[in-house]
Chain A
C-alpha cells in the first residue's frame, strides 16, 4: 500500500467514527444508538418487570409499592415525606424524559437539546416570563411549610432514581437526541404547573380583536362577538340570584384604541376543543349516591400526559392521575370525595400598549411621568452554537414580549405591548392538590381550591355525604365590562386591573335543585352575574347536550355516564343541517352530489366512525363558513377575527337576508342559498380530490382519524390514524390531535367505585408494552375499573407484584 492510500484509509476511519459518534442535524448518533449494549436495544420490555426492592437512604421508613396488572403503582408510605419521595422516584422511573423535556420546553431551553432551530421558541418562552412566573410560584411554595417539604421530597425522589442510572438505562429519547438528564430541582415542579397554565390560559385574541374593532366599529362588534352567544346553557343555572354586594371597577371616560399594527391571522381558541365534567346528586342515581365524571381534553401525546397512581399515607388515601413532574394527584378521588376539572376559559391575560421614551426601553410613560423599567437578561444556550443573550423589559404590568417592530413568534402576541397574566403572580396551586387529596367534605374542598389561582378551572365536586358542587374557580381581575377584550392603554392607570374578584364571589353552586352540576368550557353564568370574566368561551353544544341528557331522567348508573362521555350527538348539526339542506336546491346537484345530499338527509347527527355524513357535513360547513366571512374579514394582508361558529349558525337560522352573504368580490348579489350551493360543490370537489370518489374512504374514521403523536414529534413513536368517533362539538370531543386525555367516572358511597382510561399507558418507554396499551380500548370507548386499595395487604387477582423501598443504608 502506498502512503497516500493509507492516509486516505485513516481519514475514512476517522470520518466514520465522527459520523457514527455525533448527532448530525436530525440524524441521531448511529454508533451510540445501535450499540446493542447501551443503545436503543436496551430500551426493551425489561422495564415491564416489577421493580426489585431498593435501599434508599433518603427514606425515613419502608415504603411499600403494590403493582396492579396495568402497572399502576399503589404507594403505601408511613409518612407524607416518604410518600412524595416515592412518587418522585416512581414517576421518574416511568417518565423521566417526558418530565424533563417538558420543563426544558417551559423554561425556553429546547435549543440546548436541539440547537438553533428552537431559538425563537425559547426566546418566546423567556419573553412571556415563564421562568419569572415559575420563580414567583416557587417563592410562594417555599413559604408554605407543607408544600416546601413535599416539593423537596419529590425532588429527592426523582434524583434518587437518576442516581442509579447508567447510560444504557437512559430513556430512548435521550439516546436519540444525544443528551443526558440533569438533576431535578424544585423550580421544575413549578415550571410544569406554569406550562399547564400557559396551555390553558395563554390564549389571547386582544390584538386581532383590537384590529377587528377598528375595521368594523363597536355596533358590529357587539353583534358578531357577543359576550353571551346564542344557545348558551351556562355552568351556573340561569337566573341564579347573586346575593353579595359586588365591588365596582371604574371605567375610564374614553375608550382607548390601540395603534399597534402588524399582520394578524384568524385563530380559533384551542379550548373550544373542550373538556367536560359533571356530578349527579344521589337523588338522580340508581344507588342513591352521587356520581362524578370528568374528561379533560388536551393535545394528545405519547408518553401520555397523565400518570395514574394511588398515594397512601396516614392522612391521605387518594387515587387518580398525576402530572409527571408535580407532586400529588391532580384529578381523582379518595374515600370521601371526588373532584375533576375543566378549563374555565375566563380571561386572565391582558395586553397593555406601552409608550417607551426611546429604543432602549429603559423608561416608559405612565400616569403622566416617565417610569423606569426593569431589564432581565436571559441567556439561551444553544447546542453546537454560541449562547444567545436576550434582554426582556418588564414594566409594572409585566414583560414586554416583543419590541414594536419585532415579528412575534406567535401571531396573537402584540408587539410593543406588555402582558399582564395572572400566572405571573406568586401563587400556591400545589397546595390545592395536596388539600384536595385529603379533603373529606365540601368545606375542605372549598378551602383547598381557594389556593388555586391560574389557570382558572371549573372544579366539580361530590362527596359520600351526598353534596355536589361546581366552582368556576381562579384569581380573576376586577375589571369593567369588556376590559381586556382589546389592547389596553398602558399609560393610563385607569386601565390597570383594579384588584381581584373576592374568591367567595366567583361563580359557584352547591346542590342545585336540578340535581346535577356540569361544565363544558362554556360561559360560567348568564348576564346577571355582576362581574366581567371574559367573552370567548366554548359554544353551546357540549354543555347543552350534557345538561339535556342529565335532566332527561333519574336512576343514572355508571354505565349511563360512560355512554354520555362517549356521546357523539351534535346539537350543532341538529340545528344547522336541516336549514342548510332546505336552502340547497337539489335540482342543481349532479348524480354523485345527490348521493351526498341523501347521506346528509339520512344522517342522525351522530359522529360515528363508520359514517360518511360527518365528513360531508364538516367539510361543507367549513367551506360555507369561509365563503361567508373571508371577503368581509380581510383587510389587505390582515385577517380580522372571524365571528364564532355559533354566531354564524345563528345568523343563518335567523337572518336570511344578511348583507354578509353577498360576496364582495363579485358583481352579482349573492343570497345564502347561492353560498350553500357553492360551498356544497366545493366540498364535493375537495373531498373527491383528497379521498377519491364518494364511498367508504370518506368514512369519518378514515377521512378524519386521530393522531397521538410523540411528545417531541419523533416519527414511529406515536399512534397515528386512529379510527375515532366524535367531534369537537360532541361530548366525546375528539379531533385530529385533541381529545379526552383522561376519562374518569366515580360512584361515591360507602364503597367507592371508579372507572377510568387515558389514551396511552403507564410507561414512557416506547419498548414497553405499557407504552400505549390502553390506546385501542380508549378508541373503542372502554373503561378499566380503577383498583382502589384500602391497605397494602389487600389481596386481589389484579395485583401482580410488590416492591419495597427500604430506608436507611
Chain B
C-alpha cells in the first residue's frame, strides 16, 4: 500500500511538471526493479498507483468541464457514454503500469542471476 502511495505521488509530481505519459510505465518499472519482492507485487503496485492516478485525474476533469470532450471522444471511438472514457483511461494506465512493474521485477531478477 505504501509502495503504491509512493509511486502515486512520484508519478503525480512528474506528470504535473512534464508532458510525458510514460512516467506511469517508468516509475513502476523502476520500483519493480528496486523494491519488488515478486512479480505480482510489481504488477499490483503499478496497477494501483497508475490506475488510481489516472482515475482520480480523469474523474476530476470529468467533473470540472470535461464531460463534453469525453462524450466527443467516446463518439469518436464508437462508445456510447462519455464516462466510459474514465474507465478506459484508468484501464490503460493500470494495464501498462502493471506490465511495467512486473517487467521491472523480472529484469532485476535476470540481472541478479548473472
Residues on A close to B: CB < 8 A?
Answer: 1, 3, 5-7, 9-10, 12-13, 16-17, 20-21, 30-32, 34-46, 48, 166-168, 172, 714-717, 765-769, 771
Q: Is the CB of A9 within 8 A of B103?
A: yes
Q: A31-B92, A32-B21, A35-B21 are in contact. Are A12 and B57 (CB under 8 A)?
A: no
**CA distance in complex: A21, B60 (Å):** 24
Q: B16 at the A/B interface (Cβ < 8 Å)?
A: yes
**CA distance in complex: A420, B54 (Å):** 57
**CA distance in complex: A216, B66 (Å):** 62
**CA distance in complex: A37, B23 (Å):** 11
List the B side residues contacting A43 at CB < 8 Å. Answer: 69
Binary per-residue interface labels of chain B (1-38) against chain A in the complex, 1 for a CB within 8 Å, 0 otherwise = 00000000000000110011110010001000000000
Q: Name B70's closest neighbour in chain A (CB-CB).
A: A41
Residues on B close to A: CB < 8 A?
Answer: 15-16, 19-22, 25, 29, 39, 54, 57-58, 60-62, 64-66, 68-70, 72-78, 85, 88-89, 92-93, 95-96, 99-100, 102-103, 106-107, 109-110, 113
**CA distance in complex: A355, B32 (Å):** 72
**CA distance in complex: A9, B46 (Å):** 15
Q: Is the CB of A16 within 8 A of B96?
A: yes
**CA distance in complex: A717, B110 (Å):** 48
CB distance from B7 to the nearest CB of A (A): 15
CB distance from A804 to the nearest CB of B (A): 24
Q: Is the CB of A16 within 8 A of B15?
A: no
- Among all A-B residue pairs, the 5 with the closest Cβ atoms: A767-B69, A716-B75, A716-B76, A45-B65, A167-B19
CB distance from B110 to the nearest CB of A (A): 5
Q: Name A8's closest neighbour in chain B (CB-CB).
A: B106
Given contacts A20-B92, A34-B54, A36-B58, 13 further A-B contacts (CB under 8 A): A6-B107, A7-B110, A16-B25, A34-B89, A37-B15, A38-B20, A38-B21, A39-B21, A41-B61, A41-B70, A42-B61, A717-B72, A765-B69
**CA distance in complex: A5, B106 (Å):** 9
Q: Is the CB of A41 within 8 A of B89?
A: yes
- Interface centre among A12, A37, A44, A168, by most B CB within 10 Å? A37
Q: Is the CB of A36 within 8 A of B99?
A: no
Q: Is the CB of A31 within 8 A of B65?
A: no
Residue contacts A-B, CB under 8 angstroms, 20 given: A6-B106, A6-B110, A9-B39, A9-B99, A9-B102, A10-B103, A13-B25, A16-B95, A31-B92, A35-B19, A36-B61, A37-B16, A41-B61, A44-B64, A48-B65, A166-B19, A172-B69, A717-B75, A767-B69, A771-B68
Q: Is the CB of A34 within 8 A of B103?
A: no
**CA distance in complex: A247, B96 (Å):** 75
**CA distance in complex: A167, B69 (Å):** 17
Q: A21-B22, A35-B21, A166-B19 are in contact. Are A766 and B106 (CB under 8 A)?
A: no
List the A side residues contacting B102 at CB < 8 Å. Answer: 9
CB distance from B61 to the nearest CB of A (A): 4
**CA distance in complex: A767, B82 (Å):** 12
List the A side residues contacting B73 at CB < 8 Å. Answer: 40, 716
**CA distance in complex: A34, B113 (Å):** 37
CB distance from A177 to the nearest CB of B (A): 13
**CA distance in complex: A48, B65 (Å):** 9
CB distance from A23 to the nearest CB of B (A): 14
Q: Name B16's closest neighbour in chain A (CB-CB).
A: A37
**CA distance in complex: A715, B16 (Å):** 30
Q: Is the CB of B96 within 8 A of A20?
A: yes
- Interface centre among A13, A17, A716, by most B CB within 10 Å? A13
CB distance from A793 to the nearest CB of B (A): 31
List the B side residues contacting A766 at CB < 8 Å. Answer: 68-69, 72
- Interface centre among A12, A20, A765, by most B CB within 10 Å? A20
**CA distance in complex: A45, B64 (Å):** 8
From the candidates B76, B88, B100, B106, name the one contacting A34 in the complex (CB within 8 A). B88
List the A side residues contacting B22 at CB < 8 Å. Answer: 17, 21, 31
Q: Name A29's closest neighbour in chain B (CB-CB).
A: B21
**CA distance in complex: A46, B66 (Å):** 8
Q: Name B42's closest neighbour in chain A (CB-CB).
A: A9
Q: Name B28's closest neighbour in chain A (CB-CB).
A: A13
CB distance from A184 to the nearest CB of B (A): 22
From the candidates B72, B92, B96, B106, name the one contacting A767 in the complex (CB within 8 A). B72
Q: A6-B109, A9-B102 are in contact. Are A41 and B19 (CB under 8 A)?
A: no
Q: Name A167's closest neighbour in chain B (CB-CB).
A: B19
**CA distance in complex: A693, B25 (Å):** 56
CB distance from A764 to the nearest CB of B (A): 13
CB distance from A287 to the nearest CB of B (A): 41
List the B side residues contacting A41 at CB < 8 Å. Answer: 57-58, 61-62, 66, 69-70, 85, 89
Q: Is the CB of A768 within 8 A of B106?
A: no
**CA distance in complex: A43, B70 (Å):** 9
Q: Is the CB of B19 within 8 A of A717?
A: no
Q: Is the CB of B96 within 8 A of A37?
A: no
From the candidates B19, B54, B100, B109, name the one contacting A13 in the complex (CB within 8 A). B100
CB distance from A87 to the nearest CB of B (A): 27
Q: A31-B21, A41-B89 are in contact. Are A10 and B66 (CB under 8 A)?
A: no
Q: Is the CB of A717 within 8 A of B76?
A: yes
CB distance from B42 to the nearest CB of A (A): 10
List the B side residues contacting A715 at CB < 8 Å. Answer: 75-76, 78
Q: Name B101's closest neighbour in chain A (CB-CB).
A: A13
Q: Is the CB of A34 within 8 A of B107?
A: no
